[in-house]
Amino acid sequence: MNTNISIKPNAMSTLDAWLSYLEQLHPKTIELGLERAAKVAARLDILKPVPYVFTVAGTNGKGTTCRALEMILLTAGFRVGVYSSPHLLRYTERVRINNQEVSDYFHVNAFDQIENCRQDISLTYFEYATLSALLLFKQADLDVVILEVGLGGRLDATNIVNADVAVITSIALDHIDYLGNTRESIGREKAGIFKENCIAIVGEPDMPLSIFDVALEKQVQLHCVEPNNNYDWQYQQTSQQFWQFKSKKSNYQQLPIAKIPLANAATALAALSYSSIEISEDSIRCGLANTELTGRFQIIDHDPIVIVDVAHNPHAATYLNTQLKKLITNKPDVKKLRIVIGMLKDKDIASTVQILQADAWYCATLYGERGSSAEYIAANIVKDVSSEVYTFPSVLDALNQAKHDADKNDIIVVCGSFHTVSEVLSLVKNE
C-alpha cells in the first residue's frame, strides 16, 4: 500500500499534491452511483449551483456539443461555466468559467472544502472533481452551467444535479462492462439524466426505444432529430460553408459551419431552441463561427499535415474516416495516409481499426493498467498487400518514425485515445 495516502494535503498544498492524493483515496477508479457524491453536495449546498443547467450525455460528441453551447451562450452575454472530462494537458482544463480555465489556487481551495466536509464518505477521483466543479461554479455566481457526463448518465456523478435541459448526442457501443452490451441498455443508462418534466434533446438519428421509454416514465418533453419517429427538429448542410436548422420553435438558414461535427452543432442549437433561454440569431451565428475544440480533427503541423483526433471507438472512427476523405478529395496530391494509433485495452480495438483506412500504421503502446500493447493493436489490423504495420514502445516513437517516413504530401493522423493525443500535444507545446 502506498503510504503517501496518510499525507493529507490542505489549502496550502499544490494542485499536483491534491491530485495525487485523490488518485489514491478510493479503492476503485470507477464506482458508479450517486449516493456518496449527493450527500457531500447537499452538505456543501451545491446540488443546484446556478439558475440554469444543461447536462450532456452520449457515446461521442459530448465535448463538442458542450463547446457549441458554451460559445453561443457566451456570445449572448451570459456568465457560463463548463465541466468536461477527461483533460488533455492539464487538470485545470476540466473547469472553464467564462471561457477561462480556473487557476490552481481555486481548485485547491475547493478540494480543501470538500475534504473538510466529506468526513467518512469515500469519493472517487471523478466524484471529487465533479463536486469541486460545482462548488467553483456556485462561487462564481454564474447564469448557466454545462455539465459533460463522464460515463453513462444514470449513475454518473454529474447526475446529482437536476438538469433543466438534458441532452443525448449519440448512442453506440462503448464502456459495455458498465453500461451493457446493446444500444438499448446503453440508451437507458444515458437517458438516466432525464429528470421529471425536464426538456430532453436527442441528437442520435437512430434513437433506441429505451430512451423513449425513460422519457415516458419521467414525463419529460422529448425532442428528437430527424429521421426518428415523431421528430421535431432537423438540420442539413446546404453548401461547403453553410447549413440550416429547423425546429418547431425556430428556423435558421445560412448558418456558418463550425470546426466541430455538424451533428453536434445542431444538437446544441436544438437544446438552446427548446430551452427557456432567449438567444438572438446574431449570437448563434457568431458563437458557431467561433466554435472549435482541441483534439478534434485538429491540424497541428503542415508539410506533412499532422492531425490529432481523440476518436477511440467505431462510431468516432467512422466520422474521422469521413473527414479524412473530404480532406483528401480537396488535396489530390496526397500520397499516403499514415496513422499513429494508441488505444486503451477496454475499447473495441478490432472494430475501430477495421473502420480506419491507412497506407501505413504506427501502433504505439499506452502504459498504465488500461493501456493496450502496440502488438495487440497491430494484430487486429487487417493488412492488404500495400499497407505497412509497425509497432513502437511509445506514442512519440511512433510519431517520430511516421514523420521520418512521410513525404511532404502525406497526411499523418494521431488517434485512438485522449492519452495518445495528449502525449503529442504535450510535445508540441514544449517545442
Tell me the pLDDT tens digit for each residue of 207-216.
999 999 999 9
**Long-range contacts at 421-425 (CB < 8 A, ≥ 24 apart):** 421/88, 421/295, 421/308, 421/309, 421/310, 422/88, 422/89, 423/342, 423/394, 423/395, 423/396, 424/300, 424/308, 424/340, 424/395, 424/396, 424/399, 425/88, 425/89, 425/294, 425/295, 425/300, 425/308
Distance CA 120, CA 127 (A): 15
| Residue 17, domain member (yes or no) | no
Same domain, 270 and 137: yes
Same domain, 359 and 253: no
Computed over its alpha carbons, how large is the radius of gyration of the chain? 22
Which residue, of 289, 315, 344, is where some domain finishes?
289
Inter-axis angle of helices 183-190 and 209-218, nearest 10: 30
Mean pLDDT over 199-205 rounds to: 97
Selection from 247, 246, 270, 245 nearest residue 256 by Cα: 245
Same domain, 304 and 201: no
- Amino acid at site 353: V
Which residue, of 260, 289, 318, is where some domain finishes?
289
Give the HSE-up count for residue 376: Cα atoms under 13 Å, Cβ half-sphere. 16
Distance CA 372, CA 218 (A): 40
| Residue 3, domain member (yes or no) | no
| Residue 156, domain member (yes or no) | yes
Selection from 96, 143, 81 nearest residue 279 by Cα: 143
Write out the three cell numbers for 249. 420553435
Same domain, 377 and 277: no
Mean pLDDT over 411-431 rounds to: 89
Distance CA 27, CA 224 (A): 39
Structural domain that includes position 191: 37-89+129-289
| Residue 179, domain member (yes or no) | yes
Could you give the 3-state DSSP secondary structure of residue 311? coil
For residue 112, the Cα-to-chain-centroid distance in whole angstroms is: 27
Quick one: pLDDT band at residue 70, thresholds 50, 70, 90?
very high
- The answer to whether the beta carbons of residues 114 and 127 sit under 8 Å apart is no
| Residue 16, domain member (yes or no) | no
pLDDT at 4 over 80: no
Which residues, in sequence order, are CB contacts of 175 under 8 Å at separation 6+? 151, 152, 186, 346
Q: In this predicted structure, which of 88-92, 176-180, 415-419 has the lowest mean pLDDT?
A: 176-180
Distance CA 62, CA 147 (A): 10
Note the pLDDT of residue 184: 92
- The answer to whether the beta carbons of residues 409 and 293 sit under 8 Å apart is no
Same domain, 79 and 205: yes
Write out the three cell numbers for 295. 483534439
Selection from 295, 321, 312 nearest residue 411 by Cα: 321
Same domain, 41 and 138: yes
CATH of residue 302's domain is 3.90.190.20
- The answer to whether the beta carbons of residues 195 and 218 sit under 8 Å apart is yes
Q: What are phi and psi of 212, to 5 degrees?
A: -60, -40
Query: H helices within 206-345, ranges in order?
Result: 209-218, 262-274, 281-289, 314-329
Beta strands at 52-57 and 144-148: parallel, antiparallel or unpaired = parallel
Same domain, 331 and 276: no
Q: Which residues of 352-371 are buried (b: 16+ CB within 10 A; e: fewer)?
A: bbebbebbbbbbbbbeeeeb
pTM, two decimals, is: 0.91
Same domain, 306 and 285: no
Which has more confidence, 78 or 26?
78
Write out the three cell numbers for 135. 462548488
Note the pLDDT of residue 332: 79
Longest dimension (CA), the chain: 63
| Residue 19, domain member (yes or no) | no
| Residue 230, domain member (yes or no) | yes
- The answer to whether the beta carbons of residues 291 and 265 sit under 8 Å apart is yes
Q: Which residues of 185-212 are buried (b: 16+ CB within 10 A; e: fewer)?
A: ebbbbbbbbbbeebbbbbbbeebbebbb
- The answer to whether the beta carbons of residues 48 and 142 sit under 8 Å apart is no
Instruction: List the beta bridge partners of residue 144.
Output: 52, 80
Instruction: List the beta bridge partners of residue 337.
Output: 411
| Residue 319, domain member (yes or no) | yes
Distance CA 293, CA 283 (A): 19
Distance CA 424, CA 89 (A): 10
Which has more confidence, 274 or 386?
274
CATH of residue 270's domain is 3.40.1190.10
pLDDT at 200 over 80: yes
Same domain, 419 and 375: yes
Angstrom CA distances, 132 to 19, 108, 270, stand at: 12, 9, 29
Distance CA 232, CA 248 (A): 6
Same domain, 266 and 378: no
Note the pLDDT of residue 1: 37
Note the pLDDT of residue 179: 63
Same domain, 350 and 235: no
State the total domains in the chain.
2
Give pLDDT tens digits for 351-409.
999 999 899 999 999 988 889 999 999 999 977 656 799 999 999 999 999 999 999 99
Same domain, 244 and 166: yes
Selection from 313, 371, 309 nearest residue 340 by Cα: 309
Which residue, of 289, 312, 333, is where some domain finishes?
289
